[in-house]
């Protein structure tokens, strides 16, 4: 039991216990696997007519989250917002920009997860993003055995006064893999009637 080391992660990927597509061996750290930011996202749609959000009403969820939206080229975003290009980001590179206090639902570029015989995993912000006031998985970071897909990222700009630019493809989070005992049911078989609705 315990956390997978880098040697464990590489061996588990080789044995198909951990799935990561595409896989870059350089993204394996001492005890985690870095994941990158995908192109699409949902953002909160503010409407003064509504003061209460009901997450149990699908129509209200659709109203509340605008999207899917797609990251746009850096130079296009700057032109649209009357700003000069930011340093060290190529003009054509797609970006997502978060306003102060804004939260979006984004996704990993990678299809990633762990077979039920391998364990479970969790996602956390990379420390460099945390220091810059960006939370990558604000609360729901646990990934159950057998769940293999692109991972939803709850990205939150914790900065109160400044927007933050997120380049697509940037290493934004890290997955930590845990050994578990034998599990009864998992996402790959619908968890025997439990809530495996996001697997497909």
Active-site residues, by number, are 154
Task: Return the sign of the alpha-carbon dihedral for residues 82, 83, 84, 86.
Answer: negative
In angstroms, the CA 147 to CA 121 distance is: 10
Q: By the 8 A CB rule, do 124 and 176 touch?
A: yes
Nearest to 77 by CA among 91, 57, 60: 91
| Terminal Cα distance for the chain, rounded | 29
CB 179 within 8 A of CB 12: no
Q: Are strands 103-114 and 171-179 parallel, antiparallel or unpaired?
A: unpaired
Q: What is the DSSP string of 39-97?
A: SEEEEE---TT-----TT-HHHHHHHEEEEEE-EEHHHHHHHTT-PPPTTS-TTSEEEE
């Amino acid at each position: 039991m315990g956390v997978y080391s880098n040697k464990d992660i590489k061996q588990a990927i080789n044995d198909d216990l951990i799935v990561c597509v595409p896989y870059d061996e350089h993204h394996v750290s001492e005890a985690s696997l870095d994941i990158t930011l995908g192109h699409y996202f949902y953002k909160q749609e503010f409407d003064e007519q509504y003061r209460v959000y009901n997450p149990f009403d699908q129509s209200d969820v659709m109203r509340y989250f605008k999207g899917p939206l797609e990251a746009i080229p850096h130079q296009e975003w700057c032109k649209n917002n009357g700003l000069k290009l930011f340093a060290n980001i190529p003009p054509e590179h797609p970006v997502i920009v978060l306003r102060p206090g804004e939260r979006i639902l984004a996704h990993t570029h990678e299809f990633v997860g762990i077979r039920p015989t391998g364990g479970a995993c969790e996602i956390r912000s990379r420390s460099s993003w945390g220091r810059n006031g960006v939370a990558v998985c604000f609360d729901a970071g646990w990934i159950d055995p057998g769940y293999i897909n692109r991972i939803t990222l709850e990205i939150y700009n914790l900065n109160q006064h400044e927007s933050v630019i997120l380049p697509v493809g940037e290493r934004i989070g890290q997955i930590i893999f845990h050994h578990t005992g034998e599990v009864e049911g998992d996402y790959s078989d619908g968890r025997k009637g439990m809530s495996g609705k996001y697997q497909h």
